[in-house]
Amino acid sequence: MTARPFVDANVWFYALSASDEAKRLAANHLFDSLDRPIINGQVIRELCVNLLKKSSYNEPAIQGLIASLYRDCHVAPETINVFLRASELRKLYAFSYWDSLIVAAALEAGCETLYSEDMQDGLRVCEQLNIVNPLAAK
C-alpha cells in the first residue's frame, strides 16, 4: 500500500476558488488522482479563513466544505508530538512556524509526499518526506 499524501491548505484553496484558473486546474487534476489525502485541523482553519476572506464563500458553504473534508480526507490529530517535532524541524530546516507544523503533521502521519505551494519544491525532509509543488508551471 502506498502512503497517502498530505495536502497543504494553499493547494485546497486554489482547487476551490476562481482566483487563478491555471492553478485551479492543476490543483483539481491533482485531487482527481488522490484517494483520501491527509490533512489536519491547521489545513482546515487556514483554508476556511482564506475562502471567507478572498473568495465568495459564506458560512453555509464553509460548513458544507468542512463536512466534505471530514468525509473525503483523513484528518490527522494534532498531538504533542507534532508540536515538538515542528520545533526540531525549525532548527534543522529554518521553516516558518506554520510551515514546520504542516511538515511535522505530515511526518507524524507517515506521509511520503507533502503537496504545498509555499515550500521548496523537491525538498526532502528527514529522509522520508518529499515536498512537491503541484501548482508549479512544468
Number of domains into which the chain is organized: 1
Q: Is 127 among the domain residues?
A: yes
Q: Residue 90 sits in which domain range? A: 6-132
Rounded CA separation 137/40 (Å): 27
What is the percent of the chain with per-residue pLDDT over 70, rounded to a whole number?
98
**Phi/psi at 34 (5° precision):** -105, 150
What is the percent of the chain with per-residue pLDDT over 90, rounded to a whole number?
91
Q: Is 67 among the domain residues?
A: yes
Rounded CA separation 60/20 (Å): 23
Q: Is 102 among the domain residues?
A: yes
Rounded CA separation 28/11 (Å): 9
Model confidence pLDDT, tens digit, residues 34-63: 999 999 999 999 999 999 999 989 999 999
Pairing type for strands 129-132 and 38-40 reads unpaired
Q: pTM here?
A: 0.94
Q: Is 53 among the domain residues?
A: yes
pLDDT at 68 over 90: yes
Rounded CA separation 76/109 (Å): 7
Residue 108: which CATH number?
3.40.50.1010
